[in-house]
Amino acid sequence: MSPDLTYSDSGVDIDKADEAVQRLIPHARSTFRKEVLSDVGGFGSIVAIPDGYQEPVLVSGNDGAGTKTLVAKNLGRYDTIGIDVVAMCVDDIVTSGAEPLFFLDQLTVGKVDPEVIEQLVIGFAEGCIAAGCALTGGEIAEHPDSMDDDDFDVAGFAVGVAERADLPNESSVVQGDLLVGLASTGLRCNGYSLARRVLMHHGATDQPAWPGAELSLGDELLRPSVIYAPTVLSAFRQHEVHAAAHITGGGLVGNLKRVIGDQVDIGLDVKTWRRPKIFDEIASQGPVSETEMRNVFNLGIGMVLIVPSDQVDAIMSLANTNGHEAWTIGQVTEGHGTVGWMD
């Protein structure tokens, strides 16, 4: 008589999943805000609305790290990719002036490895601490047969709160406004399918990211995303901000179109900021045309604040104080809802 078939025989190890959960609990608890009312491990996360809001509205967003996960897998380094996922989520919702409250993750793996899971969650926790939100829970899903044992994917979602009366809208952006761009030191999570195809040849990740670079290509491609949320939230609260755009897939033009109405145009001046060298390396090695580079990548600008001209100095000072290099990168004119380049 053949032995009974078990869940483990089919590729799912409940004991290892439980071990992984026990490893992640202290990392999650280290991020808790006073509003968190539930502990890790329940069926749902319970978080109170912070005090001080008159008419609070909830703002949510979800995202992943894209094929940047393949770079992490290639290098066997998993402790930063979680920062990227948090950044993609919180920096989306803060464009509405929302204070990030909590974040939940989704880990999908071919086979649970508690050490790898812990490294991923370390990244989530570090990102949440930087963003000022709590990591209140998540999901570990083991998918044997549909994924190889060492395959993984990461995603998450964030929830924030904003004052209803303070929500920006398309009509807020007016002629005469200027664009303040906050620096991105690398690719963040955008355009990695193209970047990997151009740059990741056999053994290339051990080589300098570009001639004379101090970082290897692998280190450069795994550079964690800057988290802008605290700076953007402070800008909304302390100064006059008409709109904010998180520069993700689709580049500057595609994302700025999302925050303006059809009564204005935006002109961008690519000569006004410093482009990180990794983008020059992609363009030259591809080769990739300048048009395609602008359509795909952020080119060194991860967040844009659209502000009245008399607010620019204060916004730039705030950004610098919080460790972000910033430039005035464009202007708003009367128009028909288009975004273009001034060169």
pLDDT, one tens digit per residue, over 114-165 is: 999 999 999 999 999 999 999 999 999 999 999 999 999 999 999 999 999 9
Q: Looking at residue 10, what is its pLDDT?
A: 67
What CA dihedral angle connects 316, 322, 324 and 325, to 10 degrees? 50
Predicted TM-score (pTM) of the model is 0.95
Q: Which is it for the CA torsion 330, 335, 338, 341, positive or negative?
A: negative
Q: Are 141 and 271 in contact (CB under 8 A)?
A: no
- Alpha-carbon gap, residue 121 to 123, rounded angstroms: 5
Over residues 8-23, the mean pLDDT reads 76
Domain 8-166: assigned CATH number:
3.30.1330.10
Over residues 235-243, the mean pLDDT reads 98
Question: In the beta sheet, which residues pair with residue 161?
Answer: 58, 99
DSSP state of 36: B
Over residues 234-258, the mean pLDDT reads 97
Which regions of the chain carry the CATH code 3.30.1330.10?
8-166
Q: Which is it for the CA torsion 16, 120, 191, 173, positive or negative?
A: positive
Q: Looking at residue 1, what is its pLDDT?
A: 58
Q: Looking at residue 146, what is its pLDDT?
A: 93
pLDDT confidence band for 343 (50 / 70 / 90): confident
Q: Is the pLDDT of residue 27 over 70?
A: yes
Q: Looking at residue 229, what is its pLDDT?
A: 98
pLDDT confidence band for 9 (50 / 70 / 90): low
* Sheet strands side by side (includes 152-163): 56-64, 152-163, 99-109, 134-142
Q: Looking at residue 2, what is its pLDDT?
A: 65
Over residues 316-342, the mean pLDDT reads 97
Tokens 């961008």 found at: 268
Return the exposure string of 289-321: e unless at least 16 CB atoms fall within 10 Å of the residue's CB, then b.
eeebbbbbbbbbbbbbbbbbeebbeebbebbee
Which is more confidently placed, 8 or 199?
199
Q: Looking at residue 7, what is its pLDDT?
A: 72
Q: In a 3-state reduction of DSSP, which class is residue 64?
A: strand
Q: In a 3-state reduction of DSSP, which class is residue 285?
A: helix
Output the CA–CA distances (angstroms, integers) from residue 147 to 11, 71, 152, in the order listed.
11, 17, 8
Window from 1-5, 52-56, 69-73 with minimum mean pLDDT = 1-5
Q: In a 3-state reduction of DSSP, which class is residue 219?
A: helix
- Alpha-carbon gap, residue 297 to 255, rounded angstroms: 11
Window from 10-19, 181-190, 192-201, 246-255 with minimum mean pLDDT = 10-19
Q: What is the pLDDT of residues 178-226, one digit of tens each?
A: 999 999 988 999 999 999 999 998 778 999 999 999 999 999 999 999 9
Which regions of the chain carry the CATH code 3.90.650.10?
170-341
The number of helix segments (H) and strand segments (E) in the chain equals 11, 10
Output the CA–CA distances (angstroms, integers) from residue 111 to 70, 72, 82, 94, 159, in the order listed.
16, 16, 18, 35, 29
- Alpha-carbon gap, residue 266 to 236, rounded angstroms: 21
The CATH number fitting domain 170-341, selected from 3.90.650.10, 3.40.718.10, 3.60.150.10, 3.40.50.1820: 3.90.650.10
Q: Is the pLDDT of residue 244 over 80?
A: yes
What percent of the chain is predicted at pLDDT more than 90?
Answer: 88
